[in-house]
């Protein structure tokens, strides 16, 4: 049976095609019962917009999870993305203890940074709390910037395989189990993901679209979770998610007015097809 009940905890950025507004449709398209726990409601995401609103929902979280516990609602997977505060990270740690079915999977996308910088609103205290969360997860999906923050490593725009291996070693030495490192690029026209599982490292390389798009980390992580819960192994799921994310980027590339996110909806049928 591959109809799974997945809980995803991340914000609602009303406008901007990221976090829950991509996770819910992608996980639903993959065919899973998708339960959402919004960590905050923002008018837009924080990348490239100014004056966005931010309604912190931290206070709601324990009330919601308490109700679920009373109702006996449990999950096959808990997948977290952008979290709005350090307190929320603590709440997610409790969810990991109480809301999973007997056999369940914990997936953490430490969505907090990109291009060498923390997103607006995050600080060192948040990074320290996030370290504890990632090392308690079964699978993590950091980009290179996030891996640097998680391991106190200097970020480099240009790097080689030895640098990536060092990042991976630091992550696993600190307690990371399965790691999917995204946006690993060794040449101008290619990029890819590095998948580390049970001591084995595999790199999936694909075309690179030079245009950096917002929200692709969320598209990637959601597509990965959707595929993995369909009983694909970690590497296959990482490949399916990479192919879909690239398709989303290429589907948006000719529209200069659409830099805040990717047009992931029209290519959902191709994602669904790749899960068959």
Interface residues toward ligand PXL, by CB under 6 A: 11, 13, 18-19, 42, 45-47, 82, 111, 119, 215, 217-218
Query: Which residue number, 75 or 122, has a Cβ lying nearer to ligand PXL?
Result: 122
Query: Which residue number, 13 or 182, has a Cβ lying nearer to ligand PXL?
Result: 13
Cβ pair 158, 144 in contact under 8 A: no
CA distance from start to end of the chain = 14
Q: What's the rounded Cα separation, in Å, for the pair 53 and 37?
A: 19
Q: Comparing C-alpha atoms, which of 206, 202, 168 is closest to residue 185?
A: 206
Query: In the complex, what is the shortest distance from the CB of residue 109 to ligand PXL, in angstroms, rounded to a whole number?
Result: 9
Query: In the complex, what is the shortest distance from the CB of residue 216 to ligand PXL, in angstroms, rounded to a whole number?
Result: 8
Q: What angle do CA 201, 203, 208 make, to 5 degrees?
A: 155
Query: Which residue number, 124 or 162, has a Cβ lying nearer to ligand PXL?
Result: 124
Cβ pair 184, 194 in contact under 8 A: yes
Query: In the complex, what is the shortest distance from the CB of residue 258 to ligand PXL, in angstroms, rounded to a whole number?
Result: 15
Q: Comparing C-alpha atoms, which of 253, 248, 221 is closest to residue 237?
A: 221
Query: Which residue number, 5 or 259, has a Cβ lying nearer to ligand PXL?
Result: 259
Query: In the complex, what is the shortest distance from the CB of residue 19 to ligand PXL, in angstroms, rounded to a whole number?
Result: 4
């Amino acid at each position: 049976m591959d109809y799974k009940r997945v809980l995803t905890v991340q914000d609602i950025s009303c406008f901007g095609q990221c976090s829950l507004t991509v996770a819910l449709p992608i996980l639903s398209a993959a065919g899973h019962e998708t339960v959402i726990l919004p960590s905050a409601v923002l008018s837009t995401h924080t990348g490239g917009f100014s004056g966005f609103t931010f309604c912190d929902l931290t206070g709601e979280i324990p009330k919601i999870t308490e109700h679920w516990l009373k109702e006996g609602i449990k999950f096959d997977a808990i997948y977290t993305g952008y979290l709005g505060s350090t307190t929320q990270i603590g709440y997610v740690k409790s969810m990991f203890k109480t809301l999973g079915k007997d056999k369940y999977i914990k997936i953490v996308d430490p969505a907090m940074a990109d291009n060498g910088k923390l997103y607006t609103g995050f600080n060192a205290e948040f990074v320290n709390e996030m370290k504890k969360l990632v090392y308690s997860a079964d699978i993590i999906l950091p980009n290179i910037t996030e891996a640097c923050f998680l391991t106190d490593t200097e970020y480099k725009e240009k790097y080689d395989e030895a640098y990536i291996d060092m990042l991976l070693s630091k992550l696993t030495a600190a307690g990371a189990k399965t790691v999917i490192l995204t946006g690993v690029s060794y040449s101008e026209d290619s990029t890819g993901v590095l998948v580390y599982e049970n001591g084995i490292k595999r790199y999936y390389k694909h075309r690179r679209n030079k245009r950096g798009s917002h929200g692709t980390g969320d598209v990637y992580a959601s597509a990965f979770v959707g595929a993995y819960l369909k009983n694909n192994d970690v590497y296959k799921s990482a490949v399916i998610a990479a192919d879909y994310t690239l398709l989303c980027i290429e589907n948006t590339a000719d529209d200069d007015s659409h830099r805040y996110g990717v047009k992931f909806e029209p290519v959902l049928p191709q994602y669904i097809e790749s899960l068959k």
